[in-house]
Amino acid sequence: MTDLPGVVRLKDRREALTLRTILTAARRLFGEDGYARTPIRTIAKEAGVAPQTIYAHFGSKAGVLAGLVDLMDEEAGLPELMAEAAGLTDPVDLLGLVARASRQVRERCGDIVAMLSSGAAVDPEIARSQAEGARRNRLGIEMVVDRIRAAGHQVAPRAADVAVALTTTGVHDSLVVDSGWSHDDYEAWLRRTLVAAVLVTEPNGPETSA
């Protein structure tokens, strides 16, 4: 007998809740005890599920770690920002979304970012997950730069490379952690700096068409 549509949706919701519960437990335990010192059985106990459930959904502890990158995207609101970008053509607004995305990742998921950054140098599995997060960040920035070009605006050489560099964790931490900037200050500065670095303007100020 096939499931009714409502039953299928209920199963989907239950599965999503189980996945989030597992990832939330892993996020806390990895942050407190470290990735290497946190076995699957401890994550399962914290999440209130059987270890087999974690293996069925993620395959391994490395799969759980990779799932934290997905969780980070979701909690930082990146899908919503990407959807918003799809309806924009103004280059300043588009670059403002890049600044907001960078701010929300660090503000809402700074613990995951820190865990990936600190662990990547010593653990290949963490390094792979960090690389995946960096790959997604670059793809998002390249999409924005391509939209700006498609709207008829000229961008600086290697604009995506520059934007990626400006949105790195090191830049954020230097300003927010070391210098005491607020996240509002950081986002406003990053928006202005991205506009200045990415867009090509004439000496008198207006943008130059491509």
Q: Over 90: is that where the pLDDT of 198 sits? A: yes
Q: What is the mean pLDDT of residues 80-88?
A: 91
Q: What is the mean pLDDT of residues 68-80?
A: 93
Of 7-16, 101-110, 184-193, least confident by mean pLDDT is: 7-16
Per-residue confidence at 9, pLDDT binned at 50, 70, 90? low
Per-residue confidence at 210, pLDDT binned at 50, 70, 90? very low
Q: Is 87:97 a contact under the CB 8 Å cutoff?
A: no
Write the pLDDT tens digit of every residue in 126-184: 999 999 999 999 999 999 999 999 999 999 999 999 999 999 999 999 999 999 999 99
We find that the CATH architecture of domain 5-59 is Orthogonal Bundle (1.10)
Q: Over 80: is that where the pLDDT of 76 sits? A: yes
3-class DSSP state of 60? coil
> Distance of CA 192 to CAs 94, 199, 207, Å?
12, 11, 15
**For the chain, percent helix, then strand, then coil, each to nearest 5?**
75, 5, 20
> Distance of CA 56 to CAs 11, 19, 34, 64, 138, Å?
15, 11, 23, 11, 31
CA distance 108 to 92: 24
Residue partners of 12: CB distance under 8 A and separation at least 6:
none
Q: Residue type at 65?
A: L
Per-residue confidence at 121, pLDDT binned at 50, 70, 90? confident
Q: Residue type at 2?
A: T
Q: Take residue 72 and report the two structure tokens written for it.
A: 């980070």
For the chain, what are the domain ranges? 5-59, 71-198
